Amino acid sequence: MLDRNKYFPNYQKIYPELIDRPDILKFLNQSDQKIKYMEVDLKQNEFIQDLDKKVAILLPSKEDSLERLQEEEHCQFPDEQDIEAQMLTLEEIDRLYVFIAGLEKDEQELLFLRYWKELTQTEVAKYFSVSQPTICYREKRILQKLKRLMEE
């Protein structure tokens, strides 16, 4: 259990002359709280229990060691295969940008509204003053066109 005297001594008894200096007493108490946090709170696991949901969670300590992470096979950096896969994905994204740039302006705008602005087909239809099925058809046609280009 926490040694109350170690982390929160009675500074007024230890330093009677500080009775007239509440600012210094406040600073000393804040320092003690920081020391307790660094020495105790960071290193202790925390058990949280929610009786309403019937859930119990053990939160690991906030201080983590490289050795423990390695034992549990956590990986800070992905292995080389993942880097290669990431590079291939980036290359595909670059190709996709090139193909999108080659589309007509209204096709680019439709994709922008649907996928970047996340508008529904109905909202895009109102924007272009056409029906929703027309937008559905155009979108499908544009995506098929991009898919064909990407597969070449």
Q: Which positions ≥6 away from 18 have C-beta within 8 Å?
A: 11, 12, 24, 25
Does 46 score more than 70 pLDDT? no
Beta bridge partners of 47: 58
Per-residue pLDDT, averaged over 37-59, amounts to 68
Residue-wise pLDDT for 54-105, tens only, equals: 777 766 665 556 666 666 666 655 555 567 777 888 888 899 999 999 999 9
pLDDT in tens, 113-151: 999 999 999 999 999 999 999 999 999 999 999 999 988
List, as one string, the DSSP characters of 76-109.
Answer: SS--HHHHHHHHHHHHHHHHHHHHHHTS-HHHHH
Place of tokens 């020495």: 39
pTM of the model: 0.46
Confidence label for 19 from pLDDT (cuts 50, 70 and 90): confident
Cβ 125 vs Cβ 135: under 8 Å: yes
